[in-house]
Structure 1
Amino acid sequence: MNLARRASAEFTGTGLLVTAVIGSGIAATRLSPGQAGLQLLENAIATGLALAALILTFGPVSGAHFNPIVSAVDWWLGRRSRTGPTGRDLLAYALAQTAGAIGGAVLANLMFGLPAASRATTVRSGSNLWLAETIATAGLVLLIVALARTGRTATAPAAVGAYIGAAYWWTSSTSFANPAVTIGRMFSDTFAGIAPASAPLFLAAQLAGGLLACAAIAWWYPGPAPAAADVVVPQAQQKAAPR
C-alpha cells in the first residue's frame, strides 16, 4: 500500500470515528433529553461499535491507527529495528488523522442540521480529568501493543471498541484518549464538544499517557517490536499486478 492510500484510509477512518462520536452524542441528547446517564450510555455504545467496524474496514489498508499517539508509539518502538513507520509515514498519518477528525465533526454537524462548524463551549478542565486522559490513553496504547506482540491482533476490533466504550464510564474525562479526536471535537458545540481552551492540557495528558504506555510495554512486553503493518491490525499484502 503506498503512503497516499494509507493516509487516505487514516483520514477517512478517523473522520468517521469523530462523526460517530459527535453524531451519536447529538442523537442521544435529542432522543433522551435531560437524562445524562442514558445519553452517555447511548454515546458510548455507538462509539465502541463504530470503532470496531472502522478497524475492520480500514485495518487492512492502513492498520487503522486513527490516533496520532498510536502512530507515534508505533514509530518509537520500531525505530531501531526499522519495523515501525518512518518519520515521513508518521507525519502523513498525524496530518491525515487530524484533518479527518475536523472533517468528521463538520459531517456530523451537517447531518443533524447544525452549522458546519461551531466553536465548542463545553469546558473540560481539572487535574482529575487530565489524570483520566493520561490513564485512558496509556491503557489504550498498552492494549493495542500487547495484542500485536502476542499475536492476537484478530481480536483488536472487538477489544479496542470495548475498551473505548467502557472507558467512557470508568474515566472522569469520558476517555478522549486521542489528540486528533480531541481537536475534531472542538469544532462542534454539542454533547461531545470540548472548548478550545480545554484542549491543550488534554493533548498534554494524552502525550503523557503515550509515554507511560511505552514504559509499561518495555517492562511487561519486552522483545522485538511488531511490524508497523501489524498495529492496530495487520495490513493486507497486495500482490503486484502482472506485467
Structure 2
Amino acid sequence: MTTELPDTAPGPAPTVDGAPPAVWRRALAEFLGTGLLVAVVVGSGIAAQRLSADVGLQLLENSLATALGLGVLIVLFAPVSGAHFNPVVSLTDALLGRADRSGLRARTLGVYLLAQAAGGIGGAILANATFDVTTSISTTDRATPATLLAEVVATAGLVMLIAGLTRTQRSIPVIAAAVGAYIGAAYWFTSSTSFANPAVTLGRVFTDTFAGIAPVSAMWFVGAQLVGAIVAGGLVILLFPAAEPRAATASHTR
C-alpha cells in the first residue's frame, strides 16, 4: 500500500513511505525555486527594457512574466519543499505552526533562509549572465514613505493569502494560480511594485538594471516586509484560527 501525497502547500509532501523529503532536497528546491524566481524577475525586466521604450509597457511585460513564472515554480517545487521561496513565508509558517507542531522547525527554518538568500543572489547573477550584463550593485533608490507602506501592504497580503489558502486546504494548483495572480496584480496596485520578499529583494541588489534596488533601499524594504508579515500573522490567527485537516499530515512532514 502506498501513502497518498497531500496536495497542499507550503508544507512539503511526504515520500511514498510516509517520511518527509530529506532536508537537503528541500533546501535544494528552495535554492532553485528562489533563484529561478529572481532570474525571471530580473531577466524579464532586462528584456522588457530592451524591447519596449514605454515604461508602463515594460512593467506590464515584467509583471506578466513574473506572475506566470512564479505559478509554474510553485507547482514544480511545492511537493518537495512547500515552495516558500520567501523568508517571510517560512518565518510565518514556523511561528504559526508552533502550537500544533506543523510549522518548520528551527533548524529547518535556518536552512530554508540560507537557501533562499543564496538562491536570490544566484538568480540575479544568472539573469545578468544570460543577457550579457555585468553583475554590479544596483544604484536604484526606491525607498520612500509611500513605497515602504506599499511593501507592508503587499507583504501582508501575500503572506495572508498563502497562509489562508493553506489552512483551508486548497490544492497546489489553486495556490499557484492565486499567488501568481496576486503578485501580478500587486505590481500595479502598490507603488513599490510589490517586492514582498526579502530574498528577492536581496537578489535584486546585484543587478543594476530595470529590476534593481540599491542596498540602502533594500534594507528599508526588508524591514517593511517583516512588518507586513507580522500584520499578516495576526490577521491569519483571527481569520483562520485552526488548521485541523492539515495538522494530521503536516506534523510529521517537518
TM-score of the superposition, structure 1-length normalised?
Answer: 0.91
Match for residue 167 of structure 2 among 116, 134, 149? 149
Q: How does 1:45-124 map to 2 (within 5 A)?
A: 45-115=64-134, 117-124=135-142
Contact 1:44–1:165 (Cα < 8 Å) also in 2: yes
Give the superposition deviation at 1:124: 0.3
Q: Are 2:205 and 1:186 aligned? A: yes
**Which residue of 1 is the match for residue 11 of structure 2?**
none
Match for residue 16 of structure 1 among 36, 46, 50? 36
Question: What secondary structure, in the 3-state scheme, does the structure 2 residue paired with 1:38 have?
Answer: helix
Residues 59, 129 of structure 1: alpha-carbon distance in 2 compared, 3 angstrom cutoff: same
Supply the distance in 2 between the matched residues of 1:78 and 1:150 (Cα, whole angstroms). 14
Residues 157, 176 of structure 1: alpha-carbon distance in 2 compared, 3 angstrom cutoff: same
Large movers: runs of 4+ above 2 Å: 224-230
> What's the CA shift string for 1:92-136, capped at 9, x where partnerless?
000000000000000000000111x21101100111101000010
Give the superposition deviation at 1:6: 0.2
- How many equivalent pairs are there? 229
**Which residue of 2 is the match for residue 2 of structure 1?**
22
Give the superposition deviation at 1:229: 7.8
Task: Give ranges in structure 1 of 5+ residues lacking alignment.
Answer: 236-243
TM-score of the superposition, structure 2-length normalised?
Answer: 0.88
Could you tell which deviates more after superposition, 94-103 or 79-88? 79-88
Q: How does 1:195-210 map to 2 (within 5 A)?
A: 195-210=214-229
**Which residue of 2 is the match for residue 221 of structure 1?**
240
Give the superposition deviation at 1:197: 1.3
> What's the CA shift string for 1:155-184, capped at 9, x where partnerless?
001000000011000000000000000000
Q: How does 1:120-135 map to 2 (within 5 A)?
A: 120-135=138-153
Supply the distance in 1 between the matched residues of 2:168 and 2:36 (Cα, whole angstroms). 29
Task: Give ranges in structure 2 of 5+ residues lacking alignment.
Answer: 1-20
Alpha-carbon RMSD across the aligned residues, in angstroms, is 1.4
